[in-house]
Amino acid sequence: MQSRVAIIGIGYTPFRVVTPDVSFKEMMFEAAFKAYEDAGICPRHDIDSFINCAEDFTEGRSIFDIHVPDNIGAVLRSIHTICHDGIVGLIGGYMLIQTGQFNIVAIESHSKLSNMLTQNYLTAHAMDPVFNKPLGQHPGYIAGMEMNRYLHETGTTKEHCALVSVKNKRNAIDNHLASYGDRITTEDVLNSETTFYPLSRLDASSPTDGGIVMVLASEEKARALSKKPVWIRGVGWCSDTPTLESRSWSEATYARIAAEMAYRMAGIKYPKKELDLAEIDDTFSYKELQHMEALKFCRKGEAGAMVEEGVTEREGELPINVSGGSLGVGWMSEATGLQRVLEIVLQLRGEAGKRQVPNAKVGLAQSWRGVPTTSGAVIILSSE
């Protein structure tokens, strides 16, 4: 028998392109301290287990999990690190609570990407060493090839993609956490330098720093501790084949399967009607369109028109990336998924301020682990 699990605490630092004022340890501490205060708990007594989402190469030290416990109140407690996006960490916490052995679990992820000076080489290091690495090049070409095939098969245009960058950067202006809020035009995007044809500079997100911590609780604890619990209604996660040679280049199959899993669990049949808003992966502008189709907000090839018609605007029928997404907020490595969940939680609590979507009750957050992966996760949250 499944029990219900809720997010009862959120904590976050300001997201900024550079953060010289704090070490990664101080950044993690600040986010964790705020999350525990928000949940009204003491980490040293009340939290049964901790999960951190981080990648050794990004942090610059092997076995990064040993450097985690002190920063989030987990010294001499049960803790583990998942080398994956933050939403997968949340799903791990959800499963721990489902076992009945844990009542409260905290999940942490952060980005200190400003301290990683050779991100492109790090991404290149993720490629197959025998078949792909010897061909050289900046790995951004994978996004270019994917965008090319997606546009080719669906008839979507570069203009459609540009509209996503325009929308998300504009949305970010109203998000005090966002680093890349801007008022730009489709022409600005189309005229920006081609980086990896057909991809242009303004089609791609840029990195930012920040820490995020969330506290999960069982139904009993959530009702006792929280006035505004945000319930996890469905979760799903999936990875396609790693090989560039045999993966799908036009469709985000991993996101479709993860979404089907989450919709089944949440009992959602018509996502576009039943969801009040969604925060989905937009690491590149075309990814938002590709993911909209994979998440069944529309049929294949229809996402571009949906954006053009204003359906995904803040005032539209299904607002997408009201926070500004990665294009507007900044890309946060393993913490990217938690940034998307954070926006949904703020919206469902009615605490999103200027960018509040009226009567938001059900929201979806989706992550993609970035080039060169085909890994994604979906979480569906509701205020009721």
Interacting residues toward other proteins by CB under 8 A: 19-27, 29, 32-33, 36, 42-44, 57, 60, 69-71, 73, 75, 112, 114-118, 121-122, 125, 129-130, 133-134
- Given a contact cutoff of 8 angstroms between Cβ atoms, the answer to whether 367 and 281 are in contact is yes
Q: At its nearest, how many Å lie between other proteins and the CB of residue 52?
A: 15
Q: How far apart are CA 162 and CA 23, in angstroms?
A: 36
Please list, residue by residue across 295-308, b when 16 or more beta carbons sit within 10 angstroms of its beta carbon and e when fewer do. Answer: bbbbebebbbebbe
- Given a contact cutoff of 8 angstroms between Cβ atoms, the answer to whether 303 and 297 are in contact is yes
Sign of CA dihedral 291, 109, 265, 7: negative
Q: Give yes or no for a cis peptide into 372 (omega within 30° of 0).
A: yes
Q: At its nearest, how many Å lie between other proteins and the CB of residue 339?
A: 20
Q: Given the complex with other proteins, which of 69 and 242 has the nearer CB atom?
A: 69
Q: Given the complex with other proteins, which of 63 and 130 has the nearer CB atom?
A: 130
- Given a contact cutoff of 8 angstroms between Cβ atoms, the answer to whether 291 and 150 are in contact is no
Q: At its nearest, how many Å lie between other proteins and the CB of residue 49?
A: 16
Q: At its nearest, how many Å lie between other proteins and the CB of residue 83?
A: 16
Q: At its nearest, how many Å lie between other proteins and the CB of residue 3?
A: 28
Concatenating the DSSP letter of every residue in 150-194 gives HHHHH---HHHHHHHHHHHHHHHHT-TT-S------HHHHHHSPE
Q: At its nearest, how many Å lie between other proteins and the CB of residue 178?
A: 21
Q: Given the complex with other proteins, which of 121 and 270 has the nearer CB atom?
A: 121
Q: Given the complex with other proteins, which of 33 and 249 has the nearer CB atom?
A: 33
Structure tokens at 250: 């036009």
Rg from Cα positions in the chain = 19
Q: Given the complex with other proteins, which of 8 and 87 has the nearer CB atom?
A: 8
Q: How far apart are CA 100 and CA 114, in angstroms?
A: 40
- Given a contact cutoff of 8 angstroms between Cβ atoms, the answer to whether 5 and 216 are in contact is yes
Q: At its nearest, how many Å lie between other proteins and the CB of residue 72?
A: 8
Interaxial angle between packed helices 285-294 and 141-154, expressed in degrees from 0 to 180 and rounded to the nearest 10? 50
Q: How far apart are CA 90 and CA 309, in angstroms?
A: 34
Q: At its nearest, how many Å lie between other proteins and the CB of residue 33?
A: 7
Q: Given the complex with other proteins, which of 67 and 149 has the nearer CB atom?
A: 67
Q: Given the complex with other proteins, which of 116 and 190 has the nearer CB atom?
A: 116
Beta bridge partners of 368: 376
Q: Given the complex with other proteins, which of 207 and 234 has the nearer CB atom?
A: 207
